[in-house]
Amino acid sequence: MIFHFTVFFWSVIFAFGLEAIAGNPISLSWGWYFFSILPLVIISLVASRRITKRYADAFLPGLLSFVAPMLLSLIDNSTERQVFIALSTLMYYFSLLGIYRLRHAPADKTAKAFLYSATMAAMFFFYTGVYGFYLNFSFPLWGLMLIYFLGTALTSYETFLGVEQQEHRRMRLYSVLLGLVMGEMAWVMSFWPFGYLTTGAMDLIFFFVIWDIALDGFRQRLSLKKAVVRILFFSVLIALLLSSTPWRILV
């Protein structure tokens, strides 16, 4: 079953929240943060509590609530805003549906697919929105690296929990390592002449490669040949991305 009324209800509320943000002037400030992002995060906490009886399951919906308004603030075209709101709402629905189904059936592969799809979307929004914020406002590089580290480590740990329930120490170690790698990527990307969308896409590709390799390790499906083929494939994707994107001039 892919339709659940309660999940749909909270997803509609999330969509209305994004519409309210899109319909009002956006001025990134503490006031804008508390009156725009914070209510969506609270909605995610309440929704997760109602759906799974646990606040801890609110991490992924909460991450979408945190980064979607930030990325929405960087979109000027009204049509593109509506498309973004629709995609964000769909991923929000997938995240709630995924945690609901996994709560009742931990081995549900369809639920994991929903959750992983929402995770990849959330991480793209996260990397793109945070880097766009870094480019457009006076934000320190160390802060960008710290946010990349925390967001990557926490998201990785949450997704690993859906695969392995026993090896918590190993999951924490892998999550910290992934966070450190992406924190270093933030430092490297700060020297590259690309906009936030291109950078966010490249960050997502790097994250997916190392996250997927770590996930195969938990599933005991990791092989050198598979890892090399995957790295080569995504290297070609990065090359195509860089060859087709405009470069911004650093001054």
- In this predicted model, what pLDDT tens digit does every residue of 66-90 receive, in sequence order? 888 888 877 888 888 899 999 999 9
CB atoms within 10 A of CB 247: 11
Decide which of 139, 172, 189 is a domain's last residue: 139
Decide which of 139, 170, 188 is a domain's last residue: 139
The pLDDT assigned to 251 comes to: 42
Residues 182 and 76 in one domain: no
CB 163 within 8 A of CB 218: yes
Residues 128 and 20 in one domain: yes
Residues 223 and 130 in one domain: no
Decide which of 108, 139, 170 is a domain's last residue: 139
The pLDDT assigned to 215 comes to: 79
User: What is the residue whose two structure tokens read 């925390």?
Assistant: 150
Helix (H, G, I), strand (E, B) or coil at 106: coil
Residues 194 and 181 in one domain: yes
How far apart CA 211 and CA 192 sit, in angstroms, is 23
Predicted model pTM = 0.84
34-75, pLDDT tens digit by residue?
Answer: 777 888 989 999 988 888 888 877 888 889 998 888 888 778
- Owning domain of residue 34: 1-139
Residues 57 and 75 in one domain: yes
Distances (CA, A) of 19 to 126, 186, 233: 19, 30, 38
Residues 85 and 193 in one domain: no
The residues, ordered by sequence, that sit 6+ positions from 68 with a Cβ below 8 Å of its Cβ are: 18, 40, 84, 88, 92, 125, 129
The pLDDT assigned to 164 comes to: 59
**What total number of domains does the chain contain?**
2
% of the chain beyond a pLDDT of 90:
16
Residues 20 and 100 in one domain: yes
Helix (H) or strand (E) holding 206: helix 196-219
Residues 30 and 132 in one domain: yes
Residues 85 and 7 in one domain: yes
Residues 215 and 129 in one domain: no
Residues 22 and 125 in one domain: yes
Residues 135 and 67 in one domain: yes
